[in-house]
Amino acid sequence: MRPDIQGFLVAERKRQAQELASTLGRLEIDRRQFLKGTAIAAGGLFIGVSLPMSSLAASSDKATEFNPNAFIHLQENGDLLIYCGRCEMGQGISTALPSVVADEMEADWSRVRVEQAEGDQDKYGSQATGGSASIRTMYEPMRQAGASAREMLVAAAAKVWNTSPQNCYAKQHYVYHNENNNKLSYGELVAIAANMPVPESPSLKNKEDFEYIGKSLPRHDVGMVVEGKRIYGADVKVPGMQYAAIVHCPVMGGTLKSVDKTEALKVSGVTAVVEVAPLKVPFGSLGGVAVVANNSWSAQQGVQKLKVEWDKGEHGSYDTDVYMKQLVENVQKPAEKIAERGDLQSAFDRAKHKVSATYTEGHLVHAPMEPNASVVSVHDNHCEVWASTQSPDDIQSVLSGFLGMDKKSIKVNVMICGGAFGRKFKCDYVQEAAAISKAVGTPIQLTWTREEDTKTGYYHSNSAQYIEASLDEEGNVSGWLHRIAFPSINTLFDPSIQFAPANAVSEIENHPFGIANLRSESGLAPAHTRIGWYRAVYAIFWGLGYGVFADELAEKAGVDTLTMLNRIYDANTNPEQEEQVRRSKAVLALAAEKSGFGKSLPEGEGLGIAVHYSFQSYVAMAVHVRMKGDDFEVVRVDTALDCGQVLNKDGAAAQQEGAVAMGISLSKYCEITFKEGAVVNGNFNDYPVMRINDMPDVHTHFIESDAAPTGLGEPGMAPFAPALINAIYQASGKRYRSLPIQPQRT
Encode pLDDT of 504-516 as tens digits. 999 999 999 999 9
Element (H, E) at 225: helix 222-226
β-sheet bridge partners, residue 87: none
- Residue 24 scores a pLDDT above 60: no
Q: Quick one: average pLDDT of 277-283? A: 93
Cβ pair 292, 436 in contact under 8 A: yes
- Please choose, from the candidates 16, 105, 3, 92, the residue with its C-alpha nearest in 3D space to the C-alpha of residue 54: 16
Q: Which of 35-39, 300-304, 651-655 has the lowest mean pLDDT?
A: 35-39
So what CATH class is 320-364+459-745?
Answer: alpha beta
Integer angstrom CA distances of residue 604 from 559, 639, 731, 745: 20, 22, 5, 20
Encode pLDDT of 671-704 as tens digits. 999 999 999 999 999 999 999 999 999 999 999 9
459 Cβ partners below 8 Å, 6+ apart?
363, 364, 365, 529, 530, 531, 532, 534, 672
Q: Quick one: average pLDDT of 80-107? A: 97
The residues spanned by each domain of the chain are 64-226, 233-314+372-447, 320-364+459-745
Three-state secondary structure call for residue 558:
coil
- Residue 110 scores a pLDDT above 70: yes
Cβ pair 422, 130 in contact under 8 A: yes
Residue 181: the pLDDT is 85
| Residue 3's pLDDT band (cuts 50, 70, 90) | low
Q: Quick one: average pLDDT of 698-723? A: 96
Q: What is the mean pLDDT of the chain?
A: 92
- Residue 112 scores a pLDDT above 90: yes
Q: Quick one: average pLDDT of 133-159? A: 97
Query: Nearest-5° angle of CA 49, CA 52, CA 55?
Result: 115
> Which amino acid, one-letter code, is at 95?
T
Does the pTM exceed 0.85?
A: yes
Q: Which of 99-103, 479-483, 740-744 has the lowest mean pLDDT?
A: 740-744
Encode pLDDT of 212-265 as tens digits. 999 999 999 999 999 999 999 999 999 999 999 999 999 999 999 999 999 999
Radius of gyration of the chain (CA): 29
- The whole-angstrom separation of Cα 631 and Cα 202 is 58
| Residue 64's pLDDT band (cuts 50, 70, 90) | confident
Domain topology for 64-226: Aldehyde Oxidoreductase; domain 4 (3.30.365)
Angle (deg, nearest 10), helices 561-570 and 539-557: 100
Residues across the chain: 746
Burial (0-12, 13-18, 19+ Cβ within 10 Å), 229:
exposed
- Residue 37 scores a pLDDT above 70: no
Residue 18: the pLDDT is 58
Cβ pair 610, 722 in contact under 8 A: yes
- Residue 733 scores a pLDDT above 90: yes
DSSP state at residue 528? S
β-sheet bridge partners, residue 625: 606, 634
Helix (H), strand (E) counts: the chain: 21, 28
Percent of the chain scoring above 70 in pLDDT: 91
Residue 65: the pLDDT is 86
The DSSP-derived string for 364-410 is: B----SS-SEEEEEE-SS-EEEEEE-S-HHHHHHHHHHHHT--GGGE
- The whole-angstrom separation of Cα 224 and Cα 233 is 15
So what CATH class is 233-314+372-447?
Answer: alpha beta
- The whole-angstrom separation of Cα 457 and Cα 367 is 9
Residue 673: the pLDDT is 98
| Residue 63's pLDDT band (cuts 50, 70, 90) | low
- Please choose, from the candidates 471, 448, 245, 227, the residue with its C-alpha nearest in 3D space to the C-alpha of residue 347: 471
510 half-sphere exposure, CB direction, 13 A CA radius = 11
β-sheet bridge partners, residue 16: none
Q: Do domains 64-226 and 233-314+372-447 have the same CATH topology?
A: yes
| Residue 742's pLDDT band (cuts 50, 70, 90) | confident
Q: How far is CA 59 from the centre of its chain?
A: 45
- The whole-angstrom separation of Cα 479 and Cα 482 is 10
Cβ pair 430, 376 in contact under 8 A: yes
- Residue 59 scores a pLDDT above 50: no
- Residue 45 scores a pLDDT above 50: no
Residue 450: the pLDDT is 97
- The whole-angstrom separation of Cα 82 and Cα 737 is 47
Helices (H), 528-644: 539-557, 561-570, 578-595
